[in-house]
């Protein structure tokens, strides 16, 4: 299968998942002794989580493009690994809802934050596996020849992207806010020019 239709379906899932995040940003019902300003201000964690999840899906999309721009065609195994990646991505709106719903309750907030970071962790493991499979098991399908060292450097960057999500999930029992902060820091890191090496590499 040519990669163009694979990208069009993936773009669809990524764009819909990103936009569905807004369904978690609900209109507050204001009680008698509250103002709308207070109710909205009280929900800063919902807006923060929206931004973190939206930017993260955006970065997945950028990296997705970089990974598939290296391929000429995709075979059945690549299609299925890509489908598995999208399965986790499409769950991000659920994980975001779960985390923001429980973050300020007296119970369940640690588990909810662990699920949130855990979903990013599963996504990043799935993404690294897909990329490793393309670079080391389907070398013949690549557009350009890449030396073993280049391929190892690329895969190392993806594998090292797994670690902070594991840390974020691991610290959820300590504080769900730390988990959210780490996930936000990862998104900011990849968004800032510092990490631009990855997508830029694809233009060279």
Exposed e or buried b for every residue in 139-167, given b needs 16+ CB within 10 A? eeeeeeeeeeeebeebbebbeebbebbee
Q: Is 139 in the site for a copy of itself (CB under 8 A)?
A: no
Q: Which residue has the tokens 């940003």?
A: 25
**What is the footprint of a copy of itself within residues 157-196 (CB under 8 A)?**
191, 193, 196
Rounded CA-CA distance 20/59 in Å is 17
Q: CB–CB of 92/57 below 8 Å? A: yes
Rounded CA-CA distance 14/66 in Å is 15
Rounded CA-CA distance 17/158 in Å is 22
Q: Is 121 in the site for a copy of itself (CB under 8 A)?
A: no
Q: Which of 49, 67, 70, 93 binds a copy of itself (CB under 8 A)?
A: 93
Q: Which of 67, 70, 97, 117 binds a copy of itself (CB under 8 A)?
A: 97
Q: Is 108 in the site for a copy of itself (CB under 8 A)?
A: yes
Both tokens assigned to 47 = 């807006």
Q: Which of 43, 45, 48, 51 binds a copy of itself (CB under 8 A)?
A: 51
Q: CB–CB of 198/127 below 8 Å? A: no
**What is the footprint of a copy of itself within residues 2-21 (CB under 8 A)?**
5, 7-9, 11-21
* Site residues for a copy of itself per CB under 8 A: 1, 5, 7-9, 11-23, 25-27, 30, 35-37, 40, 50-51, 54-55, 58, 61-62, 65-66, 69, 73, 75-77, 79-80, 83, 86-87, 90-91, 93-94, 97-98, 101-102, 107-108, 111-112, 115, 191, 193, 196, 198-200, 202-203
């Amino acid at each position: 299968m040519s990669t163009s239709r694979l990208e069009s379906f993936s773009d669809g899932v990524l764009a819909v998942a990103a936009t569905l995040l807004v369904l978690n940003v609900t209109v507050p019902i204001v009680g008698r002794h509250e103002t709308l300003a207070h109710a909205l201000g009280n929900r800063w964690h919902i807006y923060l989580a929206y931004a973190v999840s939206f930017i993260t899906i955006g970065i997945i999309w950028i990296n997705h493009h970089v990974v598939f721009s290296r391929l000429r065609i995709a075979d059945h195994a690549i299609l299925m690994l890509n489908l598995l990646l999208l399965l986790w991505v499409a769950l991000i709106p659920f994980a975001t809802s779960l985390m923001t719903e429980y973050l300020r309750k007296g119970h369940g907030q640690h588990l909810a934050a662990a699920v949130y970071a855990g979903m990013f962790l599963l996504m990043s493991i799935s993404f690294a596996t897909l990329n490793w499979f393309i670079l080391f098991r389907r070398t013949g399908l690549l557009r350009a020849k890449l030396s073993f060292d280049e391929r190892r450097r690329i895969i190392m960057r993806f594998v090292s992207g797994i670690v902070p999500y594991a840390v974020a999930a691991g610290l959820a029992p300590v504080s769900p806010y730390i988990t959210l902060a780490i996930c936000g820091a990862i998104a900011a890191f990849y968004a800032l020019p510092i990490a631009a090496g990855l997508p830029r590499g694809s233009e060279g």
